[in-house]
Every structure is written in structure tokens, then in C-alpha cells.
Chains A and B, each alone.
Chain A
Amino acid sequence: MRLPERTVMRSPWLLGPLGIAVVLLAWSLISLSGAVDPLFLPSPPAVLQAAGDQFRGGILLADAIASIRRVFLGFALSAALALPLGIAMGSNTLICRLLEPLLGLIRYMPAPAFIPLLIIYFGLGELPKVLLIFIGTFFFNTLMIMDAVKFVPRELLETALTLGGRKLPILTRVVAPYIAPQVIDAYRINMASAWNLVIVAELVAANEGLGKRISLAQRFLRTDEIFVGLIVIGLIGLLIDLGFRAVLRRSCRWAS
């Protein structure tokens, strides 16, 4: 099928909402037709109703805050440590040779597989959940930053050297600004896994959180509440993603 090109050309931003609208429409039609048991596929109004109930009761907000807090703590720790380590690995061959195989190996260990260990070590509190997010994102963040550093054009570094630059100023004034867009983008991409992992952690053990709410809803066969959880998780993730994009656009005008 081809959309009338003129309309598309004039307002290409319409295409995104259009895609979402198509899915919503299909969902409504299927649930209206009664072809699927509402127990498996709740209708859009039922999901909206469930969302309203959870919002009024304050549960939705409390859950969202609990999940967001874990993600931010774990990810902030990961981002803050990955930046210096990634730069060190990208700019120093010895450090790179020493650590790259190790990090490359750990990266392929699925983070959820660390949950049993984390529970044994740290119990069921907040710490193991935050650490899970750290483990699941730190190695990717570090390796992506390392790669960004390795691809800083040689001319830029050598020019700084011939202008009288020394090692540390070159790192902070040439390497750091050059890789900034890639670092922000790496954070944006890995934030998505942080968001996945918090839900996994909460499915296993938590008192509150969006993942916890979903697993409780499953126990009571409340598919409408599961839908609410999924949609809210998706929306928050999308907002974070858009936030990173906005930061990137604003701070790195030169890179676009």
C-alpha cells in the first residue's frame, strides 16, 4: 500500500502516531468482535479503567517511582564508572589488552543469571536490584565508550600534540568532547536494557515496582493490569529515550 505521498511529505511526523493508531484499532476490533476471551485480551476501555483505578489508589505512581529509582541508581553507577574506564581502555593499549578479553567475556554472561548469586550475597533488598542493573549495563557501556575513543581521528590528536597539548588536556579537551555524542547514544541504548532488567529483578522479588505489579496481576489473572504495566513501562522507556535524544541534540549541535 502506498500512502498519498504529498500528505506524507508535508507531515512525515504523522507516520509514527499512525502506526500506533493502527495497532490500537486492531486491538479494539478484535476485542469488540468477541473472538477472544476478555480474560486473555482485555478491551481498551477495561485497560484504561484499570489504569485509572491504579492511578487513583496511588499504586501506579509508587510502583513507577520504585522502578525508576532502581534504574537510575544502577545506571548512574554504571555510567559513572564506565566513562573513565572506557576512556582509559580506548586510549591505553596496555589497559585495553589487559581488560578487553575479561569484559568481553562477562558481557556475554546474561545479567539475569546473576540474580541467584546477588540474592545469596545481598538478600532481597534494593542493593541486589541496583547491582543487577549495574552488571547488565556496565560492560556494554564501557566497551562502547572504548570503541568511541579508539575511533577519534588521528589527525585531531596529532594536531593537539603539535599545538603544544599534553596527554591529560588532550583527553579532556579533545577526546571527551569528540566522543560525547557516542557516549550519550551508548547510554540511551543501554538504558533500554536497564529498564528490562529492573522488571526482571522485580518479577523475582520485590515489594513494589512495575514488574512486581505485573507478576501479582498474573497471580490473580488480571490481564488488564498486566496490560497497564506493560504500557506504562513502554511509555516511561520511550520518555527516557526521547530525553536522551533531546540532550544529544542540544549539547552536540555540531554532530547532527
Chain B
Amino acid sequence: MHLSVSGVSKTFGDGRHAKLVLDDINLSIDSGEFVALVGSSGSGKSTVMRLIAGLERPSTGVIAMDGKPVRGPGSDRGMVFQKYSLYPWMTAAQNVAFGMSLQGLPRALVRERTAYFLEVVGLQNDSRRLPKELSGGMQQRVAIARALAADPKVVLLDEPFGALDLQIRETMQEFLYELWQRSGITALLITHDLEEALLLAQRVHIMAPSPGRIVRTVEADLDRSNLAHLRMSPPFLELREELVNSLRNLDAAAS
């Protein structure tokens, strides 16, 4: 799998009200990679994700999956939203099964895969509960299981833990990292949280606003054998501080 974003820009509105929100975005993701896109609000990072998902079209440039241009949404690019994306009338299991059933997979297979992915996210005992009966963290795990169960080539995560409390958030970050290691998924994470990005992704693209553009790309080559430890380790903190400073300068220059 090779996903490429080449020379993509996006303008909202037209005529005098036209606003350039993305300018010349270039990035690529290969099978098994974990890539993050970090930026403050208004940097257009969510727009990049929506363009990749095919929910919107780029104004210029090309987004391609394995060389084929993306023309619209499809199950090869699964998506996890920040919140409110579970179907409230479906149980956890029905939510996980939904994509597979939309794709017309045989029932027995759907049932088997649903059970498997619920177990992957540690919710095998909550399969019959409705979303409103699950905590925020559990809901996001169902959303991740649902995205994975549809067998995408890449999972797009749009601030998946942005609505969670700090502590649950850290647990979920560790969960996501383990999941990535175990299952060999390919992931693109959108976040405003630099720590989250550096902690999880091998490659971090840093975006700046007005217009949204990638200003820096960091290969975060860190020892991730223990995330809780990594959070506090000097090399991690140094890298983080350096990037925070450069981001702050960019934001100051923009405002």
C-alpha cells in the first residue's frame, strides 16, 4: 500500500470570499507506517484527512492510493472521528459489524470478525451494550474496532482521543500503539497534541496555519518499548521542547 499526497491545495469559497486553507501539501505513507500530522486549530490538518478520506476534493494536486487517484470515500481508507460517530441505536457489536455488513460479507464471517475485533480492543464483554452505556474511552475503542473490521488499507484517526480526559487519553495512546505494533495496521493520526504525535508516530509532519502547510517533518526515531517511560525521558522531552518552540514562533508570526 502506498498513499501519496502530492502538491495538494484546497480553497474554500470562491471569488472575493475564496480562502486558501491548504497550500502545497506533500506527504506519503507506506504499509505498516504510523504517521502523524500535528498542528494548532486552523492549520488545516483535519482538511488534509478529509481530502484523503475522499469526503472532500482537493482544489489542485493529486491524492493517490497505490497510484490510483482518490475520487471519493471508500472502505480502503477507514476513519475514526473525534466523537459522536457510533450509531446510537446499535450495540457495540452491531457497530463493529456495520461496515462489513454494508460491504455484503457473509453473516458467519461478520459474526466471527466482530467477535475478533471486539476482543482486539478489549470489549468482548461489552458487545451487547449501547454506546450511551459505554464510557468515552470505550466508545472510541468501538469506533477503532469498527474501522479496522472493515479491513481498510489505512486508518485515518482524526483527534481520536481529543474528547477524553487526560488519564484515559494516556491509556488510549498506549492501547493504540500496542494495537499498531500487534496488528501491523497503517495509521495516519491527526492531533493538536505534539506529545501524542511524537509518542506514537515514526514520522511527524508539523503544520502551521494561514494558509495550512507542512513546515517541518520529523523522523521520531525513539525507543518505544515503554511509552510511560518514554514520556518522561530526556531525549523525548528535549525533542518536544524544541518543536514546541518552533511551533510557537510560527504561530506568533502568523497572528
Contact = CB atoms under 8 A, between A and B. Distances in A.
A160 B146 CA distance: 11
B98 interface: yes
A250 to B, nearest CB: 13
B103 interface: yes
Interface in B65-107: 72-75, 77-79, 81, 83-85, 87-89, 98-99, 102-103
A252 B146 CA distance: 22
Given A158-B73, A158-B79, A254-B132, A164 B103 contact: yes
Contacts of A255: 88-89
Interface in A125-174: 153, 155-156, 158-165, 169, 173-174
A5 to B, nearest CB: 30
A187 interface: no
B85 A156 contact: yes
B89 A254 contact: yes
A177 interface: yes
B190 interface: no
A153 B82 CA distance: 13
Contacts of A155: 81, 83-85
B89 A169 contact: no
Interface residues of A, number: 21
A34 to B, nearest CB: 58
A253 B133 CA distance: 12
Nearest to B74: A164
Interface string B149-164: 0101000100000000
A163 B81 contact: no
A195 interface: no
B75 A162 contact: yes
Nearest to B89: A254
Nearest to B152: A162
B53 interface: yes
Given A155-B84, A252-B89, A162 B102 contact: no
Interface string B31-73: 0000000000000000000000111000000000000000011
B130 interface: yes
A141 B146 CA distance: 35
A173 B83 CA distance: 20
A178 interface: yes
Given A155-B81, A169-B102, A162 B88 contact: no
A164 B81 CA distance: 16
A163 B130 contact: no
Contacts of A174: 87
Contacts of B87: 156, 174, 177-178
A253 B83 CA distance: 21
Interface in A59-110: none
B102 A173 contact: yes
B75 A163 contact: yes
Most buried by A among B73, B79, B152: B73
Interface string B222-237: 0000000000000000
Contact of B73 (A162, A169, A178): A162
A164 B102 contact: yes
Contacts of B74: 162, 164
Given A177-B89, A254-B88, A255-B88, A163 B102 contact: yes
Contacts of B143: 159
B79 A162 contact: yes
Interface in B4-38: none
Interface string A19-41: 00000000000000000000000
Nearest to B103: A164
A169 B150 CA distance: 16
Contacts of A252: 89
Nearest to B101: A173
A161 B130 CA distance: 22
A252 B88 CA distance: 10
Interface string B103-143: 10000000000000000000000000011100000000001
Interface in A207-226: none
A165 B87 CA distance: 14
Contacts of B78: 162-163
Interface-central residue, B102, B130, B131, B147, by most chain A CB under 10 Å = B102
Interface of A: 153, 155-156, 158-165, 169, 173-174, 177-178, 180, 252-255
Given A162-B147, A163-B103, A177-B89, 11 more contacts: A153-B84, A156-B84, A158-B55, A161-B73, A163-B102, A164-B75, A164-B99, A165-B99, A173-B98, A253-B130, A254-B88
* Smallest CB-CB A-B distances: 6 pairs: A164-B75, A163-B99, A161-B73, A162-B79, A155-B85, A254-B89
